[in-house]
Amino acid sequence: MNKNVKINNPMKVITGPDTRWSYANVWEPKSINGGTPKYSVSLIIPKSDTKTIAKIEAAIEAAYKEGEAKLKGNGKSVPALSVIKTPLRDGDMERPDDPAYANAYFVNANATSAPGIVDADRNPILTRSEVYSGVYGRASISFYAFNSSGNKGIACGLNNLQKIRDGEPLGGKASAESDFASDEEDDFLD
Q: Which pLDDT value is given to residue 28?
A: 93
Q: Which burial class, exposed, middle or buried, applies to 10 when counting CB atoms under 10 A from its CB (0-12, 13-18, 19+)?
A: middle
106-126 pLDDT, tens digit each: 999 999 999 999 999 999 999
Q: Which pLDDT value is given to residue 98?
A: 93
In this prediction, residue 30 has a pLDDT band, given cuts at 50, 70 and 90, of: very high
In this prediction, residue 149 has a pLDDT band, given cuts at 50, 70 and 90, of: confident
How is the chain classified by DSSP, letter by letter? --TTSPP--TTEEE--TT-EEEEEEEEEEE-STT---EEEEEEEEETT-HHHHHHHHHHHHHHHHHTHHHHHTTSSSPPPGGGSB-S-EEHHHH-TT-GGGTTEEEEEEEESSPPEEE-TTSPBP--GGGS-TT-EEEEEEEEEEEEETTEEEEEEEEEEEEEEE--PPSSSPPPHHHHT-----GGGT-
34-75 pLDDT, tens digit each: 889 999 999 999 999 999 999 999 999 999 999 999 999 888
8-25 pLDDT, tens digit each: 899 999 999 999 999 999
- Taking the whole predicted model, whether its pTM rises above 0.75 is answered as yes
Cα separation, 159 vs 112, in Å, equals: 10
Span 12-173 CATH architecture: Beta Barrel (2.40)
Torsion angle in degrees (nearest 10) through CA of 41, 98, 15, 13:
60
Where exactly are the structural domains of the chain? 12-173
Q: Across the chain, what does the average pLDDT equal?
A: 90
